[in-house]
Amino acid sequence: MSFTIAIDGPAAAGKGTISKAVAAHFMMAHLDTGLLYRAVGAQVIAGSDPLKVAQSLQAEDLQRPGLRTAEVAQAASQVAVMADVRAELLEFQRRFARRDGGAVLDGRDIGTVILPDAEVKLFVTADATIRAQRRYKELLEGGFTTSFEQVLSDVLARDTRDRGRATAPMVVAADAVVIDTSDMSMETAIAAAISAVQKGISS
Ligand code: DC
């Protein structure tokens, strides 16, 4: 039986960590849908046509190294504005979600466009400055050289683009449970997400 959990929210709010933990807890498969846009963005940086890349994208492309850089994140956000690119990536996500045993998908438009009938929808968010602080720490720990101001400006630019685009903008689904992680430890945020999903399963 398929059971889908949609987890949306802006960059660096903790939705990746929460999604992985929720999937592990309920023994479901997990798809980080940002990787689809990052895989397209990375190939566009290398000179390819975004639509052609989206049309021929394979699951293996999501495993390629280098998809987590700040440059690829911006390119992903730019290709994500293109309606034809989004349309090409839609079926891959729905097919993934339909599997037996259930699936957790995280992204920006999962609860609103990709899986409007998801059994549970969460929207994980946090104050932009706090998100930038977290991302800055992650980048430094990952060996990248950058400044906090640069990371904050990247986070704000992506927020504006992801919220403002005409097709599938990032909005809170009417039936989503909002988890604001600004003042939460990651453990508390994960516990809140698991409890919201548990309620959804029981109702
Ligand atoms: O979740 P992420 O930071 O890896 O996503 C990278 C970009 O991809 C994000 O800025 C916007 C786009 N994206 C999207 O438009 N829709 C999704 N479901 C997931 C990501």
CATH code: domain of residue 11: 3.40.50.300
**Residue 104 falls within a domain, yes or no?**
yes
Ligand 1 atom showing the smallest separation from residue 161 Cα? 10
pLDDT, tens digit (0-9, with 9 covering 90-100), for 27-44: 999 999 999 999 999 999
**Residue 94 falls within a domain, yes or no?**
yes
Average pLDDT over every residue of 7-32: 97
Judge if the beta carbon of residue 154 lies within 6 A of ligand 1: no
Average pLDDT over every residue of 134-144: 91
Structure tokens at 85: 């690119």
Judge if the beta carbon of residue 12 lies within 6 A of ligand 1: no
- Give the CA distances from residue 38 to residues 26, 62, 85, in Å, rounded to whole numbers and listed in that order: 27, 8, 12
**Residue 173 falls within a domain, yes or no?**
yes
The rounded mean pLDDT for the chain is 96
Average pLDDT over every residue of 54-58: 97
**Residue 140 falls within a domain, yes or no?**
yes
**Residue 202 falls within a domain, yes or no?**
no
Cβ burial 114-125 (10 Å sphere, 16+ → b, else e): bbeebebbbbbb
Q: How many domains does the chain have?
A: 1
Q: Distance, CA 157 to ligand 1 centroid (Å)?
A: 13
Q: Give nearest CA residue, ligand 1 atom 18.
A: 107
Judge if the beta carbon of residue 43 lies within 6 A of ligand 1: no
pLDDT, tens digit (0-9, with 9 covering 90-100), for 155-193: 999 999 999 999 999 999 999 999 999 999 999 999 999
Q: Domain of 182?
A: 4-195
Q: Which of 163, 31, 201, 24 minimizes the C-alpha distance to 105?
A: 31
Residue-level pLDDT at 1:
67
Structure tokens at 186: 């990651």
Q: In whole angstroms, give the CA distance from residue 174 to residue 111.
A: 9
Structure tokens at 73: 């994140």
Phi, psi of 42 (to 5 degrees): -65, -40
**Residue 200 falls within a domain, yes or no?**
no
3-state secondary structure of 9: coil
Phi, psi of 34 (to 5 degrees): -60, -30
Q: Distance, CA 202 to ligand 1 centroid (Å)?
A: 30
**Residue 201 falls within a domain, yes or no?**
no
Residue-level pLDDT at 144:
85
Q: How confident is the model at residue 142 (pLDDT cuts 50, 70, 90)?
A: confident
Q: Distance, CA 183 to ligand 1 centroid (Å)?
A: 24
Q: What is the pTM of this model?
A: 0.96
Strand boundaries in the chain, DSSP class E: 4-8, 29-32, 103-107, 120-125, 177-180
